[in-house]
Structure 1
């Protein structure tokens, strides 16, 4: 029998968008034969049934793991667009709001942008149908559609006026990488998906933040469902001492996959944020960095998808996504159905602890104040201080930092042995803070404290 050749691209991705596979070609015997041959030669996993006796594509897929799927040509295009964060709609990022759906961001060049929709506007109706009380998912389903079609959106503005605009749906790409310079010259970069250009976007953000003065970094992989394996290999190369991207077990061979060398590097003390929804390529990178002590992981144990899929182009233009291997980090610890455990597990947003540790690292000689001797409300922070310190504190030597953000404007005064810090604006209940008391001279020691607001 002539050996068939299939083109494929390795993809690591958690289910980013739902698909309903349309198996119009179920009775195509040539297609069935082609799929069965690929499975026998390359599938890694248990086949739950008699593959040879299967009479439809859907029956075959039911025998395989949940990550192996048949796609029509259009479904494949939609899937790859989801990894690259591309979709068709009006071009807004939204969140739920008591008055409707709040627009957080308008994508430049989108239909919403051309219709002069602004961040802060609230969508109250779509095509005349009220969406007040609806979820973002329900509203999104009304806003997306075929390219070039139109949708009527009723907007409530900040001045309480309302307008209805007809917006043309366009293909747009969501921002994959966002970056910010946090207090203390800490660079923050978030990566939403391991898109084809993901590593280059992160590298660009890294260079930009260094030019702005960043000396330490936080990379956020929370809720990142994965993407291209090549991007994970490139991302690993951005970290010093990370020479191996991952170990791969295929049906008939094992491989050690090297990281792709990069001429720009994160510092060794970079902190990585993960949670239970960090999956696939996120776990590949996290495990590699943890095993090689190239970064510090914060957050929750990750999702646990250590399986790699390949995409095979079939003769009719459709695609087979098939599990073709299992991967681990360099230490060979199982990831699939287990996840990657962070170095530092957190119960609140991991950026709080990561930013706190990054700042504490900058003040190695500072002492920690006792949290048992403090009281923090939205309106005032009171901290017991050592008697020797009470006469040495200058009001401009006290700083309150919103962790994961920047400095808070405050006034500070000493009342006996209590430092009273009053913020210009009320503090946020679910936010965490760091109090810094700087020394008046090099001969004195500074102090710090991790502040959590009393509920």
Structure 2
């Protein structure tokens, strides 16, 4: 009996000591995070809250954060490197960190003006290589002869193998009049060095002309090079002007248009649609949002859209919306296949974070990521110069004219 009493007393004493130790731990002040650790935690929380893949590439996202915070971070550059390593574990080239300079550059790009060579670039999902989606029409890179699907091997002698998209873009930007050397690899031609002079590129993304079909029908030709902040306003002005000039049908050229702002693509779709869904967005919970036409199209005239392998992102949203709603026929080649949507976040130190937050589906619920959109009429196109676009040498353009001629005749009948 005395033994049992001592045993109970010892157990009770042990519990009391453990409880006191626990209270002592609670009473200890929390260790203050450094500025570098706060930035990492800020990035982690945004990704944790918004990233499309709730498995975070099949890993414990909380553990990733703990491992990163264990290591000493001497300055902001060390923090930036740690963030990039953390994001790389997601295996998503579109979810990326932008230092303050890169973030400002991206804001300039989407605002409608930049200084550089004028290349839209992407990381090829299969090869991991830095690839040209398309040169901006009339840009130094375009004039130098750089083409869609070219691989950028080196920038100023520096290999692009371990560069992020934004690091590569930053290296190609610079003061107007300065020179940048690019080593380009092209299928069937090997590697070639291009010396390109940077310039200020005004990004009015719309080229509008009144053409005529072989039958004499006035055709409004619209080439849209990207979806920046100016795109919807400039395109609306162009359509209104062409309507006044008597356009009876339209060709919307989205070839080598790499995309841009989602909202811009939606606004432009509304210029052609009176009713119907434009695009569905699907987040990681599977919740669908949608954007609808607003009943205010600018013209009911027949429309053909030109597409190719350089037609990507917001361009594919627009093309898919008009194809699924039977508003336009697509002519050309299967599109690039980027069906993911990124949101841009400004961080506390002036840097930025692009995060893949959703995927999109066309009105007929087609998921085109890595698949692209197949045109109604497939026409292969051998490489042509900028001056040959919209001429007899442009086979896809000529095919679009044929489609429109039949549409105009059918309307008259």
- State whether TM-score is above 0.5: yes
Return the offset for 1:220. Answer: 0.7
Q: Give the corresponding residue for 2:405.
A: 359
Whether the 8 Å CA contact 2:222–2:253 is kept in 1: the answer is yes
Q: 1:292 aligns with which of 315, 320, 325?
A: 325
Return the offset for 1:263. Answer: 3.8
CA change 1:262–1:242 in 2 (3 A) is closer
Q: Give the corresponding residue for 2:209.
A: 180
Q: 1:58 aligns with which of 73, 77, 84?
A: 84
CA change 1:363–1:83 in 2 (3 A) is same
CA distance in 2, matches of 1:50, 1:255: 26
Q: Give the corresponding residue for 1:79.
A: 106
Q: Give the corresponding residue for 1:301.
A: 334
So what's the TM-score if we normalise by structure 1?
A: 0.56
CA distance in 1, matches of 2:281, 2:401: 34
Return the offset for 1:305. Answer: 0.9
Structure 2 counterparts to residues 140-159 of structure 1, below 5 A: 146-147=174-175
How many residues of Structure 1 are paired with residues of Structure 2 in the alignment? 291
Secondary structure (helix, strand or coil) at the match of 1:175 reads: coil
CA distance in 2, matches of 1:150, 1:354: 40
Return the offset for 1:230. Answer: 0.9
CA distance in 2, matches of 1:274, 1:35: 37
In terms of fraction of residues, the more helix-rich structure is: 2
Q: Give the corresponding residue for 1:43.
A: 51
Question: Are residue 281 (structure 1) and residue 281 (structure 2) matched?
Answer: no
So what's the TM-score if we normalise by structure 2?
A: 0.62
Secondary structure (helix, strand or coil) at the match of 1:352 reads: helix
CA change 1:201–1:262 in 2 (3 A) is farther
Secondary structure (helix, strand or coil) at the match of 1:351 reads: helix
Whether the 8 Å CA contact 1:43–1:251 is kept in 2: the answer is yes
Structure 1 residue runs without a partner (length 5+): 1-25, 92-103, 113-121, 124-134, 152-167, 366-455
Return the offset for 1:243. Answer: 2.6
More displaced stretch, 65-74 vs 341-350:
341-350
More displaced stretch, 237-246 vs 294-303:
237-246
Whether the 8 Å CA contact 2:248–2:302 is kept in 1: the answer is no
Q: Give the corresponding residue for 1:350.
A: 396
Return the offset for 1:196. Answer: 1.2
Structure 2 residue runs without a partner (length 5+): 1-33, 69-81, 119-135, 145-149, 158-170, 180-196, 382-394
Whether the 8 Å CA contact 1:242–1:288 is kept in 2: the answer is no
More displaced stretch, 268-277 vs 45-54:
45-54
Secondary structure (helix, strand or coil) at the match of 1:227 reads: coil
Return the offset for 1:339. Answer: 1.3
CA change 1:300–1:36 in 2 (3 A) is same
CA change 1:310–1:215 in 2 (3 A) is same
The two structures, once aligned, show a CA RMSD in angstroms of: 3.7
Structure 2 counterparts to residues 86-165 of structure 1, below 5 A: 86-88=113-115, 146-147=174-175
CA change 1:338–1:172 in 2 (3 A) is closer
Superposed CA offset, 1:335-374 (max 9, x none): 1121111122112342111112222444569xxxxxxxxx
Q: 1:322 aligns with which of 346, 355, 377?
A: 355
CA distance in 2, matches of 1:78, 1:269: 38
Question: Are residue 70 (structure 1) and residue 80 (structure 2) matched?
Answer: no
CA change 1:242–1:296 in 2 (3 A) is farther
Return the offset for 1:86. Answer: 2.2
CA change 1:32–1:207 in 2 (3 A) is same
CA change 1:318–1:270 in 2 (3 A) is same
Structure 2 counterparts to residues 121-270 of structure 1, below 5 A: 146-147=174-175, 171-183=200-212, 184-252=217-285, 254-259=287-292, 261=294, 263-267=296-300, 269-270=302-303
Q: Give the corresponding residue for 1:30.
A: 38
CA distance in 1, matches of 2:137, 2:306: 23
Superposed CA offset, 1:254-288 (max 9, x none): 23323353744233521111111111111111111
Whether the 8 Å CA contact 2:249–2:408 is kept in 1: the answer is no
Superposed CA offset, 1:9-51 (max 9, x none): xxxxxxxxxxxxxxxxx99111111111111111012523443
CA change 1:61–1:333 in 2 (3 A) is same
